[in-house]
Structure 1
Amino acid sequence: MNKLFGIELIEKNGYKIPRIYFLKISHKLKWMKLNLSFYWKDVFAKYFKENDMQSKISNLKEGLDEISQEYINHFMKLFPRIGKIYLGNIWTKYDDKLNKECEKFKKTFKQPFEEILQINPYFYSNMYGLKDLPDEVLKNINGKIIADGGALNGDTALMFHHFFPDSTINAFEPLSINYNVIKTFLEKDNCNGKIVPVKKGLGIKEETIEIKFNDTEMAQITTLDNFYRESGPVGLIKLDTEGFESLIIKGGENIIKRDKPVIAAAIYHTPEDFFDLKAKLKELNPGYKFMIRRSEAVLPMADLVLIAY
C-alpha cells in the first residue's frame, strides 16, 4: 500500500486485524481484534438463559487451579462481545506465555511426515494441554493404552507417541479421508507398531450412522466399554469429537471406573460439556482432580479441554 496514511484489515485466525500505514510504515495493532466469533454461540446463549449461571460457574470453578479459573472468566468475558469490536487481548496471560514458548519451540521443531500432513507445533510444545500434569501422572500413562477419540489425520496420535513411546495408541477416526492419511504415513514408518488406526467413531452404543463431510459415508460407532472390555489398562482418553464427548464418556463408564485413566476432553462444542462434564466425571471417579487447559491456540473461545487426572 503506497500511502502516507491508511488502514487495511488483515484476516488472521478468523479475525480481522487492523494494520495502520503511517508514513509508508505499517503497524499491526495486536491489541485490537474485530469480528470476534464463536461458532457455537447460539447453543451457549440458550443454555445461559435456561440455567442459573452463577451456580454453574461456581460449581465448575470448585477445586480448579488459578489458570483454569482464568480460562472460565475469560470465556465468560468474551462471550457478550462476540460479533463486536473488542479492544484488549483475546488471550489470557497464560496463553501469552504458552504462545511465546511455542514460538521458541518452532525454531527446532521438525514436522514428521511433512509431505503428508501438517501438524500444529502447539500440540507438541503444550502436550495437548497435558504439560501441567504432575510428573508422576505423566509417567504413569506411558506403557498403558491411549484412546485417541477424534484422531483426525493422526496428528495427536503422533504427538502422544512422541511423549509416551511405550503406549499403544488407538486412533479412532471414522472418516475415510482422514483415516487414509493415517494409513499413508504409517506405511512409511509404522511407529514401532504403537499407533493403531481404528476406522470407527466412539459413542454411547454400537451402531452405524451416516456422516456427511464432502461426501456421505456410513460410519461404524463403538463404545469405549466394548472396545476395551478385555484389554490391558487404559492410561489416557483424549476426546475431540464435535460435541459427542459426554455420550462417549457415558459409553465408557465401566472402563473409566476400572482404570481411572487421565481424560482430556474438548468442552467448547456444547455448554453441557463445558459446565457439566466435570461433575459427571467426578461421579464416576470421586478421586479425580481437574484442570482446564488449551489444546492449541487458534481461537480464544475454543480449543479448551477439561483434564481429569
Structure 2
Amino acid sequence: MLSISRSGSLHREQWYKISLDIFGRSILAREKIIIGYKGGGIVEVFVKYQIFGRTIYKTIQNFKDTSYTTINIGYSGIQAQLAKDIATDQDINTKILNLCKGLDEKSIETLTTIISRLRTAHIFHKKTWDMLTEAEYQELNCIRMEFYPNIHQLSPTLYAYKNYFLPTDYFGISVFWHEFSLKKFESKTLLKIKHRNIIDAGSMVGDSALIFQKYTDKNIYAFEPTNENYEFLLQTIKLNNATRIIPVKKALGSEPSQAQISIDGECSSIIFNNNTASQNVEVITLDSFVHEHNLEVGFIKVDIEGFEQEFLKGAKQTITEQKPAMLISIYHQASDFFEIKPMIESWNLGYSFKIIKDVDHNVASECALFCEVIE
C-alpha cells in the first residue's frame, strides 16, 4: 500500500513523507524536511530514506526552488491592485514621464522595470515574475545563503539576527539586509542625519528603529498606533536596551483626529479595509509633535500603508523649515506612486529625488522615494 502524507508545519519547517507499506510494514519511505523562512525561500532540504529498515540521510545542497528565482506579484493585494491601476490607466504615459523628470539614470531604470513587470503581470495574469537579471539572481541567492540562515528562534518569544533581538519573527529583508539603502544618501546628508533626531512613522515592532540607531546619535521617535505592534515595540526596546528609541502610540496624519485602523499585522491600515478587526487610534500631526518637543529632525521614514500623503500634509511645516532627508513608501497605491514626488516638488524646497527598490521577493513592495536637499 502506498501512503502519502504531509505532516504539517512547525514555524519554519515543513515535512512530507511518502511510504510503501506491505502488510503494515514499511518497505520504502522517503521523508523530506524543508526548512524555510518568512519572507521567501527555502534554506535547506533534508531527505531521509528508509529501505528495508535501513536509514539513509541526504542533504540537498543545491535545491532548485522557484522562490529563489522568482519574485512575487500576487493575484490580490497591494501589488496586484497597483498592477491593475497601471495597466488600465488611460493617462499612464503622462504620469510616467512626469515622474521621471529630474530622476537619475538608476532611478528611471528602477521605475520603468517595476512598471513594466506590473503591467505585464496584470495583462497575462502572472502571479510571479521569473525573468530576472543576473544581478537579481545573485542577490537573491546571497540572501538565501547569508540572511535567512542567520535568523534564529531562541524561544517562543525571542528571535535574533546578528546582534538584534525581536519578540516576534519579523526580520524584513529591506530592514536588516539592505538597511533601507540609507547609504545611498549623499555623505553630507548622512552627516546631517547623524546629529539630529529621526522620525520613524509606522515603526511596527521597532525593527526599523533598531537599524536607525546606527545613523544618529540622537533619538528615534517610533510611531506605532496599533495595540499589538506597540506592545512588540516596547519589548523590542527592552530586549535591545535601546534607550534612544522613544515609543509613541499615535498615528501621524494631516490633522488631529480619531481614526479606525484595520488590523492586519504589518499591513494594518487606516486607508485600506482588510476585512479584519479594527481599533480606534489617535491621529496627530508631525508638525504639532515637533513643535511640542522642540525637535531638530534630520531624517523621516514613512511606511504607513497608504496614509503617506495625509502624513505629508501634517508634516509640511517641519519639512519646509528643517528640510530633513526622507524615505517615503510609494508602493501602496497608484496615487502614492505617481503623486507624492510631484507634491513635494510643488513646495519648491530644493529636494532631489531617487526611487529605490532593493532586491527581495516582491516586484514593487518596499519601493521608496528618497528625498534630500543637497547643499
TM superposition score category, shorter chain reference:
0.7 to 0.9
Which structure features the higher share of strand residues? 2
* Alpha-carbon offset, residue 94 of structure 1: 6.0
Change in 2 beyond 3 A, CA 1:215/1:56:
closer
Q: Which residue of 2 aligns with 1:136?
A: 188
Other structure's SS at 1:269 match: coil
Question: Match of 2:126?
Answer: 84
Match of 1:60 among 95, 99, 102: 99
1:195-206 to structure 2, matched below 5 A, reads 195-206=245-256
Q: Find out whether 1:239 has 2:298 as its counterpart.
A: no
Residue of structure 2 in register with 1:110 after alignment: 162
Give the direction of change, closer, same or farther, for the CA distance of 1:81–1:142 in structure 2 (3 Å limit): same
Q: State whether residues 33 and 86 of structure 1, in contact with CA within 8 Å, keep that contact through their aligned partners in structure 2.
A: yes
Match of 2:218 among 161, 167, 181: 167
Aligned in 2, Cα 1:307/1:93: closer, same or farther, shift over 3 Å? farther
1:274-293 aligned within 5 A? 274-293=337-356
Q: Take 2:345 and 2:317, find their aligned partners in 1: how far apart are those partners? A: 14
Which runs of structure 2 are paired with 1:1-309 in the superposition (5 Å)?
Answer: 27-28=64-65, 33=70, 36-37=73-74, 39-40=77-78, 41-42=80-81, 45-46=84-85, 49-79=88-118, 80-82=120-122, 83-84=125-126, 88-90=130-132, 95=136, 99=140, 106=147, 110-114=162-166, 116-120=168-172, 122-164=174-216, 166-191=217-242, 193-213=243-263, 215-230=277-292, 231-294=294-357, 297-309=360-372
Residues 142-190 of structure 1: CA distance to partner in whole angstroms, max 9, x if unpaired?
12111111100000000101232x1211100000101111112323444
Amino acid at match of 2:366: D
Contact kept, 8 Å, 1:33 with 1:87, in 2: the verdict is yes
Deviations 1:259-293 (Å, cap 9, x if unpaired)? Answer: 10111011010111111111111122441111011
* Equivalent position SS for 2:209: helix
* Paired residue type of 1:112: Y
Which segment is superposed worse, 60-69 or 96-105? 96-105
| 8 A Cα contact 2:83 2:121, kept in partner | no
Gaps of at least 5 residues in structure 1 are 3-9, 16-23
- How many residues align structurally? 295
1:20 corresponds to: none
In structure 2, relative to structure 1, the CA distance for the partners of 1:222 and 1:275 (3 Å cut) is same
Distance between the aligned counterparts of 2:208 and 2:199, measured in 1?
11
Instruction: Name the % identity.
Output: 28
Contact persistence 1:111–1:119 (CA under 8 A): no
In structure 2, give the amino acid aligned to 1:66: E
Q: Cα 1:78–1:154, aligned 2, differ >3 Å: closer, same or farther?
A: same
TM-score (norm 1): 0.81
2:347 aligned partner, one-letter code: L
Q: CA RMSD in A?
A: 3.5
Structure 1 pair 303–34 and aligned structure 2 pair: CA distance change class (3 A): closer
In 1: Cα distance, 2:212 partner to 2:344 partner: 23
**Compared with structure 1, are the counterparts of its residues 178 and 196 closer, same or farther at alpha carbon in structure 2 (3 Å cutoff)?**
same
- Separation of aligned partners in 1, 2:213 and 2:135: 26
Contact 1:143 / 1:168 at 8 angstroms: preserved in 2? no
